[in-house]
Amino acid sequence: MTIGTVGVTVALALAPAATAVADTSPTASGATFNLFIPGTWETSESADPSKPIGALKPIADRLRHDHGDSAVIYFLPYVARAFDNGESYGTSKATALENAGTVLRDYASQHPDARFTITGYSQGADAAGDLASAIGNELGPIAADAVLAVALLADPRAGTAGETVVGPREDGIGIADPRPAGMGSLMGRVSAICAPDDLYCSIDKSQNPLLGQLGTVLGKTPADAEAAVKKAATATTVLASVDIPGIIDGLTRLPREVAAGDLRSAHVVSGTLNNRLRPLVTLASMVDFTEVSTTLALIPDETGLTKAASLLAAALAHVDFQRTADLVGRIQELTWSGVGAVAARTGAKTLPTTTTTPSDVRQVARELAVLSSSIVTVHPRTGTEVTAVSPDLRSMATAVTEIVATRAITDPATVVTDAVSAGSFYASDSHVHYGTLVVDAEGRDAIDWFGKWLSDSIARAS
């Protein structure tokens, strides 16, 4: 998920009080509040905002050295994740925007004469730039006149109108695309630095079409795009190995066996069906089938496997596998008890105890029949990146397995990963080495330049 201009407006206008500003901040009219938003994995929601961390720490240290207590330093605590620990990049960035809006609004309320600077790195620059765009277009938590400077380091939305590019210039743009609304009235007060070979903030999408599309459609940085492709590759392997036609047959047959009173056959069918469903249940808990489908649709390959798997994943996105498996397991359990009761009348010695009645089993089977109709008769709803050729899930699954068999594909995952240059999903070392990127004629690196620029901006205002 990418937070665009409209999303910024909502996030900043409606944000609840989430992160309080320390009471130790100065009250002098010349004081500046300097908001720093760290990059992915550099902070957390429980971090101490008074302690500078990560790539931006030297810049904050420079401001403290030059301006002492008159420069309040605040490192924003937020999720700062990217598709790990159950958190998505988009959700993480949204928390950064929400927390930042609350902090700025609260501080401005307590200190009406305060001036502000905003600095962000990587995911933090993504959020800081969106925040600046909202402020510059009169949609932010504070007035644009109160903002002295905005520093964006390795911004995934680089190329936004109204920012001043410092250092090496390239034709590339940020992987998540520039902000449509631009920087508004903050033009001239927003500076951006990006290393030419840092794919987070400088990518030529004509030369990197897959990575560019992933960044745009899925709102991902290169590392996130790599993770998406790996998930799609794993899903393709599972989808190629699962007997989906067998699952459809079992889901069709099971309610009929129960309705006919043949508990012994129903028990056998439910046991087989349970085993066939298990890989899909596990996969569904690990991936988002819609995301897998979209990712696969962007990856061309000569075998046709990625397209077929994309259609199959799109159809499966609307199936509740966990609930289906739970009902099948329940029928397996109930029919075992029922079979035991029948066996008791034939002289079996070791039997399950049961109070199960045929109506109990039929009730579960009816619920399964209703739920499984989404599998037996599928009409997938797909996004613009996926074209549904057939609504028949059985045909889709058969197409996948036939391609694997015909092409003698032993590892379907490699078809997905080999279709793309693996190296294109890794940002170069330049993403973390801005302390060595020279950006001006005086030999200053990106970190030094931002430190001096922000310090000078504060000095001029005071």
pLDDT tens digit sequence for 100-128:
999 999 999 999 999 999 999 999 999 99
Q: Is the pLDDT reported for residue 224 higher than 60?
A: yes
Neighbours of 30 (CB within 10 A): 13
- CATH tag for 5-207+430-461 (out of 3.40.50.1820, 3.40.30.10, 3.60.21.10, 3.40.190.10): 3.40.50.1820
Output the pLDDT for position 214.
Answer: 73
CA 351 vs CA 62, 203, 217, 337, 357: distances in Å: 78, 67, 57, 8, 16
Sequence ranges of the domains in the chain: 5-207+430-461, 222-423
CA 139 vs CA 2, 12, 158, 380, 406: distances in Å: 18, 8, 20, 38, 57
Residue length, the chain? 462
Listed range (7-21, 175-189, 222-236, 266-280) with the worst mean pLDDT: 7-21
What pTM, to 2 d.p., does this model score?
0.61
**3-state secondary structure string across 304-367:** CHHHHHHHHHHHHCCCCHHHHHHHHHHHHHHHHHHHHHHHHCCCCCCCCCCCCCHHHHHHHHHH
DSSP 91: H
| Residue carrying structure tokens 């199936």 | 319
DSSP 183: T
Residue 175 contacts residue 222 (beta carbons within 8 Å): yes
Residue type, 192: A
Q: Is the pLDDT reported for residue 430 higher than 80?
A: no
pLDDT tens digit sequence for 232-253:
999 999 999 999 999 988 888 8
* Distance between CA atoms of residues 299 and 314, nearest Å: 15
Average pLDDT, the chain: 81
Q: 369-373 contacts: CB < 8 A, separation 24 or more?
A: 369/255, 371/320, 371/323, 371/324, 371/327, 372/251, 372/252, 372/324
DSSP 388: -
Q: Is the pLDDT reported for residue 319 higher than 80?
A: yes
Output the pLDDT for position 423.
Answer: 46
Binned at pLDDT 50, 70 and 90, residue 426 comes out as very low
Give the residues across from 118 on adjacent strands: 35, 150
Neighbours of 372 (CB within 10 A): 24
Phi, psi dihedrals of residue 119, rounded to the nearest 5°: -135, 135
CA geometry: angle 124, 126, 129, nearest 5 deg: 105
Structure tokens at 13: 């206008």
